[in-house]
Amino acid sequence: MSLIVILGLYTFALLFISFCEISFLKKEKNTQAVILSEKDYKEAIEISIENKKFSIFSNLYSFFINIAWISFGFAFLKQYFIKDNSILENTLFLLAFFVIGAFLSLPLSIYSSFFKDKKQGFSNITVKTFVLDFIKQLVLLLIIGFALLYALLYCYEFLGEYWWFYAFLIAFFVALLANVIYPIIIVPMFNKMQKIEDESLLAEISALMQKCGFSSNGIYSIDASKRDKRLNAYFGGLFKSKRVVLFDTLLKALNTKELLAVLGHELGHFVHKDILKLLALSALIYFSIFFIFAHLPLAFYEQSSLLDVNAGVFALIFILGELVVFILSPFLNALSRFNEFKADMHGAKLTSKDDMKNALICLAKENKAFVKNSKIYTFFHLSHPSISDRIKALDES
């Protein structure tokens, strides 16, 4: 089977799922509003439909970009970068592939940030911030990308038949390292991060964390509102770099009890060791991808002009890797949704069911997220249960 056919089938599956979701949402227009007010319910449906339409366009755009790479793009890069097939040449080949890809994705990012999200009432981003973000991302790509790709290509060239196993170890180690440095180095490059100064709130959050045996090196807020109005909170980092990070939008929208319920939910992931389970699953996915792509038929390389290019296997990983994740997604999403239900219960236990439910409703309202999803969309795409399913589970617990 050719690469183009495989990509075509994958894209068709994505489009089919999106069209099913749109059909489901259109039917929901005629139903009575639940959880949200009638106005918010209808608005959330319209926004969700618009987002799914954008997703359809994005998937088609990505499909044609990938076809272009396979048909002539890789041959073009090979002509300019590959002479002796050295590690340096192959690293530059892949960096050029990523940099060009970053610029090709710009039209989608610009439309999403400055048109779709602004129309929906989310985006606050300015042209200056957008441009600076893109430049910073590009610099990180060039610096970190060069080091990582060079190391992976070294494995390919010098570590024999089982090069893919050593490449997997390096890639997974870098992923772990990224989690450690993300909250202390990467986030401050893009957002102003400062410690929470509200002593009363700090005391309540600290007491909540102590109940769960969770220690961190600080409780911070970030100025997320300079880009987007959506609400969020997370525990970033690993080991001693762990931080509680609250979006300024969340601090403004939720009262203290609701905020503690959200944090209780996140602490539930810590108590249930979901982060460690996720790391183990991530390792399995990384292992599977490197094993599969190390044993691809030569025909795939011939079809994409990558037959005599050491970087070819890594280029195909980034073209087809999403397909492997998509195939695994039903299992991964089901496990994630199960963990989310348990985390909700933990948040409710630390605070109350009403606080947890009110927090979920506020998140849905402020993020203009529709409260239901079709079964097929949930099966393939949702790592979190719908708000209606989460509230139902809390009511039945």
- Which of these is catalytic: 28, 89, 258, 344? 344
With both helix axes pointing from N to C terminus, report the angle between 127-158 and 163-181 in degrees, rounded to the nearest 10: 150
Active-site residue, selected from the candidate residues 21, 40, 117, 266: 266
User: Is 269 part of any known ligand binding site?
Assistant: yes
Q: How far apart are the first and last CA of the chain?
A: 49
Environment class of residue 387 by beta-carbon count within 10 Å: exposed (0-12), middle (13-18) or buried (19+)?
buried
Contacts of 42 (CB under 8 A, 6+ apart): 29, 33
Residue 265 assigned as binding residue: yes
Is 384 part of any known ligand binding site? no
Distance CA 211, CA 316 (A): 47
Backbone angles phi, psi at 37, to 5 degrees: -70, 165
Contacts of 357 (CB under 8 A, 6+ apart): 348, 391, 394, 395
Residue 287's nearest CA partner among 324, 237, 238 is: 324
Give the chain's radius of gyration (CA, Å): 23
Helix, coil or strand: residue 201: helix
Known catalytic residue: 344?
A: yes
Cβ distance 373 to 383 under 8 Å? Answer: no
Q: Has 266 been annotated as catalytic?
A: yes
Catalytically active residues, by annotation: 266, 344
Binding residues: 265, 269, 340
Binding residues for Zn(2+): 265, 269, 340
